[in-house]
Structure 1
C-alpha cells in the first residue's frame, strides 16, 4: 500500500491514487516570487497567564543549537540529522525536547533488531528527523514530528488517530450575511451534529467501498442522497485531496461497522458514527477571509476578503485506535526473545519477510482507518454545507484542499512518517495539478477563537516537505482545565461555540455538576492553552517552509 506525496519523487502508484492534470505543452507553470519574509505580527492577543506554568523559549534550552533565525538543530548521540523550525519567539517545552531525544533512541532499536534478524532486512535507520513550529510533548512521540525512515515502519510515529487532517472549503457567502444569521445557525448546527439531525444514509456496499478505496470508492458506489453534495465533489476528491484513498484489498478488520448497517448490501441505513467531530482539539468552523497576504494565490484559490470558509479538523475516530492497538499487540508478541524492549517503548516493523504477515494485516487496518477518516471529514463538511444552505441560502461550498497530518508515505523502502505535521510540497511535488503554480495548500488552524492561516508550501528538504498542523499546545490539558473562570466567561461572551450542551439553556444552568464538566472540557481547548499563531506562521515563512496566502478569522466553532 503506497500513499502519494513522498517528498522528492512521485511514484507511479502515487499518480494512480492521486492523479494530477497534465500541464499543457508550452504552458509550464512559472513559480511566482515569494513575498518578503517580514515578521508577521501575532494576530491573537495573549490571555492572562498568571496561573499557567512557565514555558521556556527555544534559546533557553541548552540541548538545542540555533543555526539561524528560524532553525535549530538537536544534537543526539545517534547521529540522526534533526532540525526544528522555530524562531526565538516560539516557545518550546523542555519536556518536548526530552521526548524528541528519547524518540531518536529508536535509531539504536533499529540497529539491534537488524542484528537479531535471521534473514536480510535491508538497512533500517532514521535518515532524518524534523520538528515543526507547533512542536510540543505528546504521549511518547512529540506532536509536530516528521521522520524519514528506511526499511522500517513505526506505527507510533503516526499515532492512534490515523489520517487526522484538515479540510477547507470556500463558499460564495460573505461574512456579513452569515453574521446576521448566527443565532439560527447555532441552533441548526447543534441539531445536525448533536441531536440526531445528520442522518447520513449508507449501504453496506458503500461502507465497504469507503474502507477499501477511500473517497473514490464512496462516491462511485450506489446512491448518494446526501444533503449538500455537489456534482464536482467526485472530481475534487482526485485533484484537491492530498490522498483521496489508500487501495486496500479487504475491510475485514472493520466488518462489524459494515455489518451494523443491517439489511441487504444495497439497502441504506442511517449511520451514527461517520460525520462525528470527535473530541479533543477536533472541530468544524465557519470562518471568513480577514486578510490577504499573497494576492495572486488568494485570487486563484477564491479567497477574497470577506468570503466565508468552512474548516474541518477530524480523523478516524475509534478505527485508528483499533488499528494501532492491534499492531502494537502483534509487535509485542513477536519481539525477539532475549532482546530487551526499547526504553522509549517505540516498537518498529522491519520490512523483512518474517514480519510480512503481521505487517500486512496492520497496513490493511491502517488503510481502512485512513480511508474512513477521509469520509468522516467529507461528511462533516457536507453537514456544515447543509446548515449554511438552510439558514443562509446562496451558493454551495467548493473544496480548496484536504490534507492529512497523521499518516506515513511509502516509496519502496522509504517511509516518511508525520505525526501532527502536514505535507507542504512545492512546485515539483504538485506538478501537473491545480496547485503546480503555487505549491501545496497548507492549512494551519489557530486555537479556538484565534485566526487560522492558509499558506502555500515550498517543498523544503529540511522538514521533508512538511509544515505544522496548528499553533501547538502551550499548556498541558490538565493545567489548562484549571484555568480561570473569568477568562473563559469573557471568551464565551465574545465568541460562539456550538457543543452538545447549550450553556445558555436555564435547564443546563441548574445542573452544577454538568456545567462544571462542560467548562472543564472547554478550558482544555481555550485560547490560553495554545501558542500564539503569529510567531508559528512567521517561523514557517521565515524558514522557507511555506508562505502565507490568507488569514481566516472565526465566526462560529462546533466542538464535540
Structure 2
C-alpha cells in the first residue's frame, strides 16, 4: 500500500464513484495529510457506514454531506426582474454602485434590497448595499472585513479637557494604539473569545487563532481610526441616561483583522465553486445555509464579529485605564455583517455591507471624516430600508483619485481649519475624499433620529 491516499483507496472501501471521493480527498489533503494512511482509511470507512454520525463534523461533515445529500453544483442564471428595492439619496450615488445593486436584486435568492445614501461601488455588493436573501449567505455581501464596527465611550469629562491635556492624549494614542498588518501590542492581553469552540472545531479558524491572539486590540489600515473628540448629546430622552451637554468621547472604527479577511476569502472561494454565476456577478456567489459550508461560514462569521467587538473592547479598556475614569456609557454597532431577521414576517438573511443596523430604537454611530462630525443615531425601523442606515459619509473620491488630486498641505489646511490634530493618516484618507456628512444625514431622515454628535479633535490612523 502506497503512503499517499488516493481515490482508488476510497473506492476499495466502497465509496460511490461520484464527487464524494473528490470532497474526501480535498478534506484529507487540506487537514489530515500528515497522518497515517491506515488511520484515515479507518475513519473514512466509518463515515461511509454511518454518515449521520458525522453531520457537522469539522473535517468529515462535508464528506458525509457528499454521501447523503450532495450539494447541487449548477450554473445559476439571473432573473429578468429585480426584487423590490429602495435607494436613499439617489442623486449623490455613482451609477456603478446602483448597477451593482441592480445585479444583486436579480439573484434567484434575493427577496429585497436597499442602497444607503453613502453608497459607492465595491466588490460583490456595493458599499452601502443591503440585501435580504432566502436561506443563503453571500460572503462578499458581508465583505472582507467581517464585523467592521464602531464603538464610542462617553466620559464624564468636560470638552475643555481635550485642549488642556492635548499633548498627553496624543501620546496615549501614539503609544497605546497599533495599526496596519504588522503592529501588535508588546504586552498581550487574553480574552474569553479564545475559549470559543469554533477555534477548535473549524480547521481554518483553528489555524488563525495565534494570529488573532497577536492582533487583539489592534486596528487595520485604510479608514480605521481611534479618535478623541467632543460628544454633544442633544436628545434628553436617550436610552443611556446621559444628560444633554458636551463630554469627552473615544471613538474607534475597525474590524476583525486577519481573522475576518481569511474567513471571507476562504468561503468566497468555496461559494464560487458551489454556485457558478455569470462572470459579471461571480462575486455574489452564495452558500446555502442548509449545507455544511454554509453552516460553517455562519459560525465563522459570527466568531469574527465577536472578535471584532473584543478588539474594540480591548482598545477602550487600555485607554480608559490610562485616563483613570470610567465611561458613562458605550455605544457600538457592526456595519459589515449578516443577520437572521424578519422581513415581511419571514426569517431572511439580511446582509449589510457598509450599512448600520437601524431597527426601531436601535442605537448606532455614523462617522463623518477626520474633520467632520459623526452622529449618534436611533433607528426608526424603516422596512423599506430593511431597517438600515448609512455607515458613514461614504467616499466621493477613490484612493487612487485622492493621491492624484490632493497634497499633504491640502490636508494640513483642512486640519488647521477644523482644529484637528492628526497622527498618521495618508492622502487616500484626506477629509476631502468623503461626501458631505450633513447632506448624507439629510437623505436618511426617515431612517434614523439624531441623539448626539461626535466631533473629532485628536485622530490616530495607520501611517
TM class by shorter chain equals 0.7 to 0.9
Aligned to 2:280: 343
Residue 197 (structure 1) shift: 5.8
- Please give the TM-score of this superposition, normalised by the length of structure 1: 0.62
Say if 1:443 and 1:455, in contact at 8 Å, map to a contact too: yes
Matched positions, count: 372
Equivalent positions of 1:63-212 (< 5 A) are 77-86=80-89, 91-105=92-106, 107=107, 110=108, 125-194=109-178, 199-202=187-190, 206-209=192-195, 211-212=196-197
Q: 1:255 aligns with which of 206, 212, 227?
A: 206
1:294-318 deviation per Cα after TM superposition (whole angstroms, max 9, x unaligned): 33328x5416422111111111011
Residue 87 (structure 1) shift: 6.9
Aligned to 2:52: none
Residue 160 (structure 1) shift: 0.9
CA gap 1:158/1:388 in 2 versus in 1, 3 angstroms: same
CA gap 1:320/1:197 in 2 versus in 1, 3 angstroms: closer
CA gap 1:457/1:249 in 2 versus in 1, 3 angstroms: farther
Equivalent positions of 1:460-471 (< 5 A) are 460-471=382-393
Equivalent positions of 1:309-320 (< 5 A) are 309-320=249-260
Q: 1:488 aligns with which of 401, 411, 422?
A: 411
1:41-72 deviation per Cα after TM superposition (whole angstroms, max 9, x unaligned): xxxxxxxxxxxxxxxxxxxxxxxxxxxxxxxx
Residue 79 (structure 1) shift: 3.1
What CA distance in whole angstroms lies between the structure 1 residues aligned with 2:354 and 2:100?
A: 15
What CA distance in whole angstroms lies between the structure 1 residues aligned with 2:269 and 2:454?
A: 42
Say if 1:192 and 1:198, in contact at 8 Å, map to a contact too: no
Say if 1:303 and 1:550, in contact at 8 Å, map to a contact too: no
Say if 2:117 and 2:444, in contact at 8 Å, map to a contact too: yes
Aligned to 1:550: 452
Aligned to 1:343, what secondary structure does the other structure show? Answer: helix
Aligned to 1:400: 330
Residue 145 (structure 1) shift: 0.9
Corresponding position: 1:448 with 2:370 = yes
Give the superposed CA RMSD.
Answer: 2.5
1:126-177 deviation per Cα after TM superposition (whole angstroms, max 9, x unaligned): 1110111111111232111111111322111111111111111111111112
What CA distance in whole angstroms lies between the structure 2 residues aligned with 1:303 and 1:380?
A: 25
Structure 1: any 5+ residue segments left out of the alignment? 1-75, 111-124, 213-246, 262-270, 390-394, 427-438, 500-520
CA gap 1:340/1:408 in 2 versus in 1, 3 angstroms: closer
CA gap 1:208/1:259 in 2 versus in 1, 3 angstroms: same
Question: For structure 1, which segment, 248-257 or 398-407, has the greater mean C-alpha deviation from structure 2 after superposition?
Answer: 248-257
What CA distance in whole angstroms lies between the structure 1 residues aligned with 2:245 and 2:167?
A: 23
Say if 1:278 and 1:314, in contact at 8 Å, map to a contact too: yes
Select the structure with the greater relative contact order (CA < 8 A; seq sep ≥ 6).
Answer: 1
Structure 2: any 5+ residue segments left out of the alignment? 1-78
Corresponding position: 1:459 with 2:394 = no
Say if 1:198 and 1:383, in contact at 8 Å, map to a contact too: no
Give every structure 1 segment of 4 or more consecutive aligned residues whose post-TM-superposition deviation is greater than 6 Å. Answer: none
CA gap 1:198/1:181 in 2 versus in 1, 3 angstroms: farther
What CA distance in whole angstroms lies between the structure 1 residues aligned with 2:211 and 2:365?
A: 34
What CA distance in whole angstroms lies between the structure 1 residues aligned with 2:227 and 2:116?
A: 24
Q: Which has the larger radius of gyration?
A: 2
CA gap 1:399/1:272 in 2 versus in 1, 3 angstroms: farther
CA gap 1:304/1:251 in 2 versus in 1, 3 angstroms: farther
1:368-407 deviation per Cα after TM superposition (whole angstroms, max 9, x unaligned): 2222111111112223323433xxxxx3114332211111
Say if 2:193 and 2:306, in contact at 8 Å, map to a contact too: no
Which structure's residues are more often helix, by fraction? 2
Say if 1:99 and 1:141, in contact at 8 Å, map to a contact too: yes
Say if 1:179 and 1:555, in contact at 8 Å, map to a contact too: no
